[in-house]
Chain A
Amino acid sequence: MAQAIFIILSLITLGCALVVVTNRNLFHSALYLAFVFVGVAGLYFMLQAEFFAGIQVLIYVGAILTLIIFAIMLSRDLMNPNVRGFNRQWWAAAIVAGLLFVVLAVVLWRAPWPAAPVGEPSADFIAELGQALVSPAYVLPFEVVSILLLAALVGSILIARER
């Protein structure tokens, strides 16, 4: 049962991902990207990472995809279906991507992955996650992300400002 769901989810995710990169209409690509994100969220769900599945949907579908669609609709000529999605180097890119896939597949296949997860996650692990974010070990990355966000906000306003 789980196997079947996994295969269906993977096929949806990969199929939609393929459409995202081959579709001529950028707007349609963005919509298919939503299915990719939801499919990945489903995979997280199957891995018993329900929290991350929720976060994935909230952030990627809810925020990032909305931004992408805004950006497409606000940019001139991006929705023009006559703009070609391929350039002269598409076959070179396909070869490199294929090779990368083969290498990574072999690596993932051959590596014994000794650090398998241990045991079930505890019941209130979201609370533990929240505490870990402000624990000594992770508080610095947490704060650095805020600084990065501030810089990115200022920068995006500067770039997008009126001429």
Chain B
Amino acid sequence: MTLAQIIELLLPQLILLITVLAIFIADLADTRKEKGWAPYLALAGILAALITSSLHWGREVSFLGNMMRVDRFSVFFNGVVLAASALSVLLAISYMRPRTPYRAEFYALLTVVALAMTLAAGASNILMIYLAMESISITSYILVGYLRQDAKANEAAIKYFLYGAATSAMMLYGMSLLFGISGTLDLTGLADFFRAGVPEASRWIAFPAMVLLLAGFGFKTALVPFHQWSPDTYEGAPTPVTAFLSVGPKAAGFAILMRVFITGLPRFYTDWAALLAGISIVTMTLGNLVALRQSNIKRMLAYSSIAHAGYILIGVVCLSLSTTSPFNGVNSAMIYLLAYLFTNVGAFLTVIAFEEATGSTTIADYAGLMKRSPWLAVPMLVFLLSLTGIPSTGGFIGKLFVFGSAIQVQFYLLAIVGIINSAIAAFYYLNVVRYIFFTPAPEQAGPVPVPRPLRWVLAICLIMTFFIGLYPQPFMQLTTGSASLLASL
């Protein structure tokens, strides 16, 4: 493969790298304090990377010694994580301006995470996967603890870091077991090795290795029992970073989880599917039950985000090779992640706007938001209904796909637990709706202003939530086409 071809395939990542360096250099050159250009430079780079990545649609190539792949799966996840990054940049503009003088670095580091996530989406070698995950994690720790004068942010960053370091060490041990037995770090090489036989070896190594790998993947995607960091981190982190963590690194974590298990360990499908099914049930149930008791909206959304990871996992478990049905498991997880991206960013947007205006993240303070700011309250209603999974919203299509894939492979238990959990979740989502619409606002409470970048995000999230919910056909085709991984099963 020539250098030009490699550059062409790595163009999204190169654009992001150039953006990062451009922000650093321009930051040094610009002696003024304002740095108002920084978010827009980051945004331009991320959007350019998104466009160049989309142009790779339809390609299926491995390059650089099978270190990376550009396939429909990676292009889809590049789209998800870059969209998450772009929306988070817009969310951060008004939030970060009064809180820190070091804004240019913030957007540069956010772009580094975006770069690491695109590497994670395409990595097809265990070494590359580990590096991509560590880059996401280490840069995210910095973003979480960015507001150093805030004690809660410090606690959030330290908890995130300690959990991340411990789970990543466990994951690395699992990776070393896989390398020790197979002598290869390449995922397809790994699959070939296990397919060739050696059943005794595979049993003794593969299962513990998968459990250890899951520690790392479960940390990134906030699956029980690797979720304990997430409520404190989500509560303490700057809210745009929380929104980002709940959609960007989570999607990247699922991309890695699916690629490693489906491409690298397809021979042990029954083992890991059983393991993941158990984790999915515990994750959904625990996330939803604890979310019921939360009075802080960021903590509530953190637990709800844990529960959503459980729903997404149903899709990863219930794989099906049938080409006639609309659900194949992988596409269910993908469409869920896509719908969740716009819905959850939308919900966090309201939290940010409200926090800007009142300084509060308590659910009870949302009382009478309908009277105060109908333009914020009605979209929030849509996002909460989408998180609940009410028809005509994107969240419904996501739930339809994951539960559909469970019913398709006759894994009824997962579908039933998922549906019961959706009903439980309705309580705490609609509790917020109750405060917004049916509780009187406190006296002298004025309208909640929404800064202009937040309005753009609001419009995008609202349109996409309805678009996925009302006209899902293009997204169904997109995700079904992206499920190219399943060929290796």
Interface status of A4 (Cβ within 8 A of chain B):
no
What CA separation (Å) do A115 and B180 show in the bound complex?
Answer: 7
Chain A, 116-160, CB within 8 A of any chain B CB: 135-141, 144-145, 147-148, 150-152, 154-156, 158-159
Chain B residues whose C-beta falls within 8 Å of the C-beta of A137 in the assembled complex: 64-67
Chain B, 1-38, CB within 8 A of any chain A CB: 1, 6, 10, 17, 20, 24
Chain B, 124-173, CB within 8 A of any chain A CB: 127-128, 131-132, 134-135, 138-139, 141-142, 145-146, 148-149, 173
Would A141 and B131 count as touching, CB distance under 8 A? yes
Would A114 and B201 count as touching, CB distance under 8 A? yes
Would A103 and B135 count as touching, CB distance under 8 A? no
What CA separation (Å) do A38 and B471 show in the bound complex?
Answer: 63
Would A154 and B67 count as touching, CB distance under 8 A? no
Query: Which single member of A103, A140, A151 contacts B64 (CB below 8 Å)?
Result: A140
Would B134 and A148 count as touching, CB distance under 8 A? yes
Chain B residues whose C-beta falls within 8 Å of the C-beta of A136 in the assembled complex: 1, 6, 64-65
Within the complex, the shortest CB–CB distance from B171 to chain A, in Å, comes to 14
Query: Which single member of A115, A138, A140, A151 contacts B181 (CB below 8 Å)?
Result: A115
Within the complex, the shortest CB–CB distance from B347 to chain A, in Å, comes to 28
Interface status of A76 (Cβ within 8 A of chain B):
no
Chain B residues whose C-beta falls within 8 Å of the C-beta of A73 in the assembled complex: none
* Number of chain A residues whose Cβ lies closer than 8 Å to a Cβ of chain B: 30
* Number of chain B residues whose Cβ lies closer than 8 Å to a Cβ of chain A: 45
Encode B290-305 as 1/0 by CB contact (under 8 A) with A: 0000000000000000
Chain A residues whose C-beta falls within 8 Å of the C-beta of B201 in the assembled complex: 111-114
Query: Which single member of B67, B102, B146 contacts A140 (CB below 8 Å)?
Result: B67
Would B65 and A110 count as touching, CB distance under 8 A? no
Chain B residues whose C-beta falls within 8 Å of the C-beta of A140 in the assembled complex: 10, 64, 67-68, 128
Would B17 and A155 count as touching, CB distance under 8 A? no
Would B105 and A158 count as touching, CB distance under 8 A? yes
Interface status of A107 (Cβ within 8 A of chain B):
yes
Interface status of A8 (Cβ within 8 A of chain B):
no
Would A147 and B204 count as touching, CB distance under 8 A? no
Chain B residues whose C-beta falls within 8 Å of the C-beta of A156 in the assembled complex: 142
Would B183 and A115 count as touching, CB distance under 8 A? yes
Would A159 and B142 count as touching, CB distance under 8 A? yes
Given the interface pairs A147-B135, A148-B134, the reply to whether A155 lies near B182 with Cβ below 8 Å is: no
What CA separation (Å) do A130 and B445 show in the bound complex?
Answer: 66
Interface status of B279 (Cβ within 8 A of chain A):
no
Which B residues fall within an 8 A CB radius of A? Answer: 1, 6, 10, 17, 20, 24, 64-68, 102, 105, 108-109, 112, 115-116, 119, 127-128, 131-132, 134-135, 138-139, 141-142, 145-146, 148-149, 173, 177, 180-183, 198, 200-201, 204-205, 208
20 contacts between A and B (CB under 8 A): A107-B177, A111-B201, A112-B200, A115-B182, A137-B67, A138-B67, A138-B127, A140-B64, A140-B67, A141-B128, A141-B131, A144-B116, A147-B112, A148-B134, A150-B20, A150-B112, A151-B138, A154-B105, A155-B138, A158-B146
| Top 3 A-B residue pairs of the complex, sorted by shortest distance between their CB atoms | A137-B65, A155-B142, A115-B183
